[in-house]
């Protein structure tokens, strides 16, 4: 598990170096650990080494590891959902995640909004949206969300088209039980650095367009969640405020 602490330090250094190259403050870039397939012990080792932000992309795993990561003595942390969210999993995900980064249709946003509303009304038993450190507040506060944008145009990737992103962000911002925090993308899967960079710059452009549009409920949409183990430097250069890293910290995942 010392290896995890060591890897974490290497990744933090990569983020800091990448920020310095473009004159950014490294503190502007948060590190989210993508913990899919990792046993709770490995995740806890990362938390003990100072990680404070985790992301799950499978609802089933999120629910399975939730109690273990809520156990007494676990360092406080935030949990985000970063995978495709099926509508029948909304309530489970809300129970364990404080932010859903993968809103790419108005329909999903409306389902999330309705689920939070039910919780506010007290008919749903949603708990620790911010991990073990947060008491159940009865669901009075809105759920943080991001709009996922398909900036690469790759048909296998989820996300709203950049051309439709402003409209979706405005519609999400108008929902009373959601708080739009920003935008998320999975970068282009290409060996060509320019192609990858273009996909990250496209997300930064979406944020500019949305903030310039000034629609109600979009003023807090400042986050850019982009960049992974292999390309985080490119994302930081393009303005990432959150990089999502798995293998560079935990090692290669077993094939699923
Ligand atoms: C797994 C995952 C990551 C991290 O990918 P690595 O290449 O392992 O760093 C980032 N984002 C999402 C949505 C993921 O599912």
CA 136 – CA 127 distance, rounded (Å): 5
Answer whether residue 131 shows pLDDT above 60. no
Where are the extended beta strands (E) located within the chain? Answer: 30-34, 53-56, 78-81, 99-103, 143-148, 178-184, 223-225, 242-245
Range(s) of the domain holding residue 72: 2-250
Q: Which residues pair with 110 in a beta bridge?
A: none
Q: Is residue 255 part of a domain?
A: no
Q: Which residues have a Cβ under 8 Å from the Cβ of 73 and sit 6 or more positions away? A: none
Q: Is residue 77 part of a domain?
A: yes
Please report, for the domain that includes residue 226, its CATH number: 3.20.20.10
Q: Is residue 27 part of a domain?
A: yes
* Arithmetic mean of pLDDT, 163-185: 98
CA 51 – CA 225 distance, rounded (Å): 17
Span from the CA of 140 to the centroid of ligand 1 (angstroms): 31
Answer whether residue 178 shows pLDDT above 60. yes
Q: Is residue 256 part of a domain?
A: no
Indicate if ligand 1 lies below 6 Å from the C-beta of 235.
no
Span from the CA of 215 to the centroid of ligand 1 (angstroms): 31
Span from the CA of 102 to the centroid of ligand 1 (angstroms): 13
Give the chain's domain count: 1
* Arithmetic mean of pLDDT, 172-176: 98
Q: Is residue 144 part of a domain?
A: yes
Q: Which residues pair with 244 in a beta bridge?
A: 32
Residue of the nearest CA to atom 2 in ligand 1? 34
Q: Is residue 120 part of a domain?
A: yes
Q: Is residue 153 part of a domain?
A: yes
The pLDDT of residue 1: 60
- Tracing tokens 């077993």 back to the chain, one arrives at 254
Q: Which residues pair with 79 in a beta bridge?
A: 54
Residue 128 pLDDT level (bands cut at 50, 70, 90): very low
The pLDDT of residue 170: 98
pLDDT in tens, 38-53: 999 999 999 999 999 9
């Amino acid at each position: 598990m010392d290896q995890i602490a060591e890897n974490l330090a290497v990744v933090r250094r990569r983020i800091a170096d990448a920020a310095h190259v473009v004159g950014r403050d490294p503190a502007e870039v948060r590190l989210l650990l993508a913990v899919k397939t990792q046993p709770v012990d490995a995740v806890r080792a990362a938390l003990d080494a100072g990680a404070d932000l985790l992301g799950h992309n499978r609802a089933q795993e999120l629910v399975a590891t939730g109690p273990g990561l809520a156990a007494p003595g676990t360092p406080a942390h935030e949990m985000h959902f970063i995978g495709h969210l099926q509508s029948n999993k909304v309530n489970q995900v809300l129970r364990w995640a404080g932010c859903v980064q993968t809103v790419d249709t108005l329909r999903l946003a409306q389902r999330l909004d309705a689920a939070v509303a039910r919780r506010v009304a007290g008919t749903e038993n949603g708990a620790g949206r911010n991990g073990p450190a947060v008491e159940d507040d009865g669901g009075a506060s809105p759920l943080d969300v991001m709009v996922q944008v398909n900036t690469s145009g790759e048909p296998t990737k989820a996300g709203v088209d950049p051309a439709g992103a402003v409209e979706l962000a405005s519609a999400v911002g108008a929902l009373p039980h959601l708080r739009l925090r920003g935008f998320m993308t999975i970068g282009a899967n290409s060996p060509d650095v320019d192609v990858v960079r273009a996909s990250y710059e496209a997300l930064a452009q979406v944020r500019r367009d949305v903030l310039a549009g000034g629609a109600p409920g979009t003023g807090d949409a400042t986050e850019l969640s982009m960049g992974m183990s292999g390309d985080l430097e490119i994302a930081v250069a393009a303005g990432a405020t959150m990089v999502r890293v798995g293998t560079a910290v935990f090692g290669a995942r077993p094939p699923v």
